[in-house]
Amino acid sequence: MKMEQGMQLIDGNGKFNVDGLKDFMTATEFAQSGLSYAIVAIIGSQSSGKSTLMNQTFHTNFEEMDAYNGRSQTTKGIWIAKCSDIDPFTIAMDFEGTDSNQRGEDDTAFEKQSTLFALAIADVVLINMWYKDIGLENAASRPLLKTVFQVMKRLFKPRKKTILFVLRDHSKTPLEYLKTALLEDIEKIWAAVAEPETLCSAPLKEFFNVEITALPHYEFQEEKFKEQVAQLRQRFVHSIYPGGLVGDRQEVEPASVFPLRAEEIWKIIKDNKDLDLPAVKVMVATVRCEEIADEKLKCFTYDEDWLKMKEAVQDGPVSGFGGAVSSILETYLSEYDREVVYFDQEVRNEKRRQLLSSALMVVRDAYDTLLMHLYSNTVKSFKTRLEQSQNEGQEYVVDIHLYSQSCMVEFDQGCEGDVFDDCVELLMWLLTWTVTSPARVAIWAEIAKPDAHKGTPLGDFLNVEVTALPSYELEEEKFKDKVDRPRQRFFHSVSPGGLAGDRKDAQPASGFPLHAEQIWKTIKENKDLDLAAMEVMIATFRCEQITKETHSRLKSNKTWLALRKAVKARPEPKFRKKLISVLKNSSPTDDNADDSADGSANHSADDLADDNIDCESADDLADDTVDDCENG
């Protein structure tokens, strides 16, 4: 396939040529261009010489109208071709002409759809028109421009695209006059288009870099035409460089996603949906990043060094397993990072996490095997040491504690290997997994548990996290540097997601002395530690203390004393409300205990004001003011 001749990307019925575009990408090696490419589209009236202009400017071979066979529609749908000998890699798109007799005046849907497609996909849009049509309505593409501007204002955020008006068959009228007239016309159309609230004052120049050029008659002044076209062609050399013809390149995407992006944009336009380009960008990034991640995962899975490591670990523990695996994995993660660097950051980061997670699942069986080897060796070592100590007549209980600790340290060291400095993320995942791996889960499963918790997993009781530190004596500086990381975990530790786990049963700090004393007393007496019953006991004791403190404060409260004196003399207005206020102000501040104190205050006031309870019996403060309180 000679790509200068082009291929039909979208036919006259709006069908997108997926297979053809795939062949085009392969034949032209467009995907290898990275970000170094430009896309140029041309729109304009039927039979205005669009294909001829593209062929002359970009050395393509789009089909041209044969004037000897009459003036009729030549280009149907949208065609795409590679431009010859232009740096950067440039794609030319030839669009079906507007104002077509073949489609008729009632069938303008395709020309509007194709124009929107050109604006969404191209960096530079050429608008081809005869110079003598400036000031006319349809011939000057005014309805089309109005549609374009409406779409740009409604669907696009300000991002400069270059619109290059090419005035054909220019003769005597000075170009400067034509430019002035055309720019005024464009500004009027732009101003007349209703604007969304978000862009109420956005000027035309924020959306478009408008340029105008003119060409002589192709048939009557062919040599001069070709000379000026050659000058126009030079505008597209290095077009993406600073100061080049291509406008804003901030959100450019890799060439490899062009097929996916073009197909999705056309589908949305065809379905008559609002064209949300940021959403399209995220969708394209998602698909492409997934493809790259899948490719890197496959490469890792069949990596020769990894397969050798996987095979070796079947026979026994492999020294430096974590470091070797993380080194292999890091190679493919780095390749992934390089290939997705120009895609949406959130998408590429999320897909990287998924890639790492999938790769660790590939490692899981081998790592489980390693842990089982370590587990078997640790248990064997523990039994051997314990038997030797018994033969030597040493104390049994002390030896169990000593050897169990020693063996577990060896087990953890075997899990860690030398991976800490190579891949902290992998180490933390592997070490945390070690705690919940079959080796450790087996220990949890063997522990006798009450019937209510026989099926309860370890994770329901403990939130297990693991970290590692170098030797303090041998590597003091490194130790101090590393220890700062776990220290940071204790900042805001009680906030959601913090280190301090489940806080729903947390008690006020004021109850800590009693809480700690009671727990230790229970443990020392070797009783079952019933924390729920202990919580009720502590709450009862503390609430009683708070009540006594409240009554004590109230006895000397000047406001209460004045209120009490006043109510004996006469009915006191709003007595109940005033009493509640006094009781609240007398209550000590004590974290969650405030709620209990406030509740007590309200209840005491209710007793005094509503329930005809003697003031003295309610709060031990009033003596003979029952009738007065009730009247109040």
Give residue limits of the domains in the chain: 7-273, 282-427, 532-631
User: Distance between CA atoms of 119 and 127, rounded to whole angstroms?
Assistant: 11
User: Distance between CA atoms of 116 and 98, rounded to whole angstroms?
Assistant: 13
User: Distance between CA atoms of 610 and 90, rounded to whole angstroms?
Assistant: 88
DSSP state of 131: G
User: Distance between CA atoms of 54 and 49, rounded to whole angstroms?
Assistant: 9
User: Distance between CA atoms of 29 and 386, rounded to whole angstroms?
Assistant: 70
Q: How confident is residue 431, by pLDDT bands cut at 50, 70 and 90?
A: very low
Q: What confidence score (pLDDT) does residue 492 get?
A: 76
Site of tokens 């205005």: 48
| Least confident segment among 111-120, 357-366, 445-454 | 445-454
* Higher per-residue confidence, 55 vs 113: 55
User: Distance between CA atoms of 96 and 11, rounded to whole angstroms?
Assistant: 10
Q: What confidence score (pLDDT) does residue 64 get?
A: 81
Amino acid of residue 625: T
* CATH superfamily of the domain spanning 7-273: P-loop containing nucleotide triphosphate hydrolases (3.40.50.300)
Span 351-369, average pLDDT: 86
Q: 537 and 518 in contact (C-beta within 8 Å)?
A: yes
Reply yes or no on whether the pLDDT at 140 is more than 80: no
User: Distance between CA atoms of 455 and 602, rounded to whole angstroms?
Assistant: 46
Q: What confidence score (pLDDT) does residue 27 get?
A: 93
User: Distance between CA atoms of 254 and 284, rounded to whole angstroms?
Assistant: 10
Q: What confidence score (pLDDT) does residue 24 get?
A: 94
Q: 133 and 49 in contact (C-beta within 8 Å)?
A: no
pTM metric for this prediction: 0.53
Q: How confident is residue 574, by pLDDT bands cut at 50, 70 and 90?
A: confident
Q: How confident is residue 408, by pLDDT bands cut at 50, 70 and 90?
A: low
Reply yes or no on whether the pLDDT at 624 is more than 60: no
- pLDDT averaged over every residue in the chain: 75
| Least confident segment among 72-76, 163-167, 424-428 | 424-428
DSSP state of 580: H
pLDDT > 90 in the chain, percent: 21
Reply yes or no on whether the pLDDT at 129 is more than 50: yes
Contacts of residue 605, defined as CB under 8 A and 6 or more positions apart, other chains included, come to: 576, 579, 580, 583
Burial class (CB in 10 A: 0-12, 13-18, 19+), 266: buried
Helices vs strands, H then E, count in the chain: 22, 7
Contacts of residue 142, defined as CB under 8 A and 6 or more positions apart, other chains included, come to: 136, 185, 189
Q: What confidence score (pLDDT) does residue 287 get?
A: 83
CA angle 602, 606, 611 (to 5 degrees): 160
Strand bridging mode 124-130 / 89-95 = unpaired
In the three-class reduction of DSSP (H, G, I as helix; E, B as strand; rest coil), residue 35 is classed as coil
Residue 155 CA: distances (Å) to CA of 198, 208, 316, 513: 11, 14, 62, 65
- In DSSP notation, 502-567 reads --TT---GGGHHHHHHHHHHHHHTT----HHHHHHHHHHHHHHHHHHHHHHHHHT-HHHHHHHHHH
pLDDT tens digits, one per residue of 169-184: 998 889 999 999 889 8
Reply yes or no on whether the pLDDT at 441 is more than 70: no
Q: What confidence score (pLDDT) does residue 607 get?
A: 40
Q: Which residues face 212 on adjacent strands?
A: 165
Q: How confident is residue 601, by pLDDT bands cut at 50, 70 and 90?
A: very low
Span 496-511, average pLDDT: 73
Neighbour tally for 174: CB within 10 Å: 10
Q: 55 and 102 in contact (C-beta within 8 Å)?
A: no
Residue 285 CA: distances (Å) to CA of 132, 269, 292: 45, 20, 10
Q: How confident is residue 93, by pLDDT bands cut at 50, 70 and 90?
A: very high
Q: What confidence score (pLDDT) does residue 89 get?
A: 95
